[in-house]
Amino acid sequence: MRLKGRERKSIVTFCGLLILLLAVSVLLFYFSPWLIQNILLWQREFNQSIAAALPQIRQNSLYAGGTLMLISFLYGLLHALGPGHGKFVIAAYLTAQPSQLKSGVGLSFLSALLQGVTAVLLTSVIVVALNLSSAYFHGTQLWLERIAFLFLLWLGWYWCRQSINSLWRKPIVAMNIRSIRKADSAKFVPLPRQSAVKISTVSQGASCSCGGEHIYQHMQRARQDRRSQWLTILTIAMRPCSGAVFVLFFSYMLGLYGWGIAAALCMALGTGITLSLFALLVRFARNSALRVSRWYFSPAIATQTGGIIRFVLGISLMVIALGLLYTTTLQTTGGRILFGG
SS3 label, residue 72:
helix
Whether the pTM exceeds 0.95: the reply is no
pLDDT at position 40 is 72
- Per residue in 264-307, pLDDT tens? 999 999 999 988 888 888 887 777 766 666 665 555 555 567 77
- Per residue in 222-256, pLDDT tens? 666 788 888 888 898 888 888 899 899 999 998 99
Q: What is the mean pLDDT of residues 212-219?
A: 55
pLDDT at position 103 is 78
Q: What is the end-to-end Cα distance of the chain in Å, rounded?
A: 54
pLDDT at position 204 is 44
**Position 339, amino acid:** F
The CA–CA distances, whole Å, from 71 to 123, 261, 304 equal 21, 14, 47
- Per residue in 52-107, pLDDT tens? 888 888 888 888 889 999 999 998 888 877 666 677 888 888 877 766 667 778 88
- Per residue in 14-52, pLDDT tens? 677 667 767 776 776 676 677 667 767 777 888 788 888
pLDDT at position 312 is 87
pLDDT at position 171 is 42
Angle 207-211-212 from CA coordinates, rounded to 5°:
70
> Other C-beta atoms within 10 Å of 35: how many?
14
User: Please, which residues have CB within 8 angstroms of residue 82's CB and are 6 or more apart in sequence?
Assistant: 36, 39, 40, 43, 340
- Per residue in 147-205, pLDDT tens? 999 999 999 999 898 888 877 764 444 444 444 455 444 554 554 554 444 444 444 44
- Per residue in 111-155, pLDDT tens? 999 999 999 999 999 989 988 888 888 889 899 999 999 999 999
pLDDT at position 299 is 59
Enumerate long-range contacts of 66-70, CB under 8 Å, 24 or more apart: 68/259, 68/262, 68/263, 69/262, 69/263, 69/266
pLDDT at position 335 is 43
